[in-house]
Structure 1
């Protein structure tokens, strides 16, 4: 009797990101907009920039130009109205911390809309981190959703 082959395994499909195709980048490359360096297969902040670096526009800067978000955060409630400036500072500090380790995680836009703060991010990690940081600091209700098959996060926080 031959080997049986299981055909009922779940195979996680690769989620394609049109903004990041590492095969196309010369090593090293430097983003002419933000200065992030592609080296050894990853983007990182390197000083000084290698002399032989090729000039590119990194995936984060391209997403920002195209307004192609990877994360969407909505913050709302009475508490937000009273603590708006503090919360916006927390959002910006969270971005700075995340960018130190993941240079492509950036805020695309922070805007106020109908008494809410809406934040769009380049990738899903930062959206999640913003929601978690606000929740950790100010409690309230937090919901994080990852639509199946998408490299995307929807985050909703509310405190009344």
Structure 2
């Protein structure tokens, strides 16, 4: 049995937007309408009448512009197919939000030869990169800076 005391212990990655306190069940975000119910965030129409008002972690991240992921798309192909690619990205966001309501696009910055997309969390950024790559091929690269809950996605064609 190996009983070493010098092994590395992974430290918990702190996310200031996920509070340790429990939200009242049910609670509804006064900005976007997402409902916290039975321990998860979900879309409910109409929200429960007894829901307390709060601001969800995604809306707080968007207000603070505190991104969980960034996607950079560039290249000649991207420029000539920009509208198609942007439509694909919007569809991916809608699909992802149906299952993960806190996964949202913070901003899409069109810089002519490059599009930069910031997202609230890393799942959506990764999914956007994978979807664009699956549809249009090209070069795709993911970077996860060590010790952070963040992704940098770069696609080029």
Classify the TM-score, shorter chain.
over 0.9
Matched, 1:147 2:149: no
* SS of corresponding position for 1:23: coil
Query: Alignment partner for residue 21 of structure 1, among 16, 19, 22?
Result: 19
* SS of corresponding position for 2:21: helix
TM-score (norm 1): 0.92
Question: For the residues of structure 2 that align with 1:107 and 1:90, how far apart are their CA atoms?
Answer: 13
Residue 112 of structure 1 is matched in structure 2 by: 110
Residue 30 of structure 1 is matched in structure 2 by: 28
Query: Alignment partner for residue 7 of structure 1, among 5, 8, 15?
Result: 5
Residue 46 of structure 1 is matched in structure 2 by: 44
- Which whole-Å deviations, capped at 9, do the CAs of 1:51-85 have from their partners, x for residues lacking one? 21110010100111111111101000000111000
1:13 Cα deviation after fit: 2.0
TM-score (norm 2): 0.94
Residue 84 of structure 1 is matched in structure 2 by: 82
Q: How many equivalent residue pairs?
A: 157
Gaps of 5+ in 1: none
Gaps of 5+ in 2: none
- 8 Å CA contact retained: 2:109, 2:115: yes
Q: Please, what is the CA RMSD of the aligned residues?
A: 1.5
Within-5 A mapping of 1:39-78: 39-78=37-76
Runs (4+) of structure 1 exceeding 6 A deviation are: none
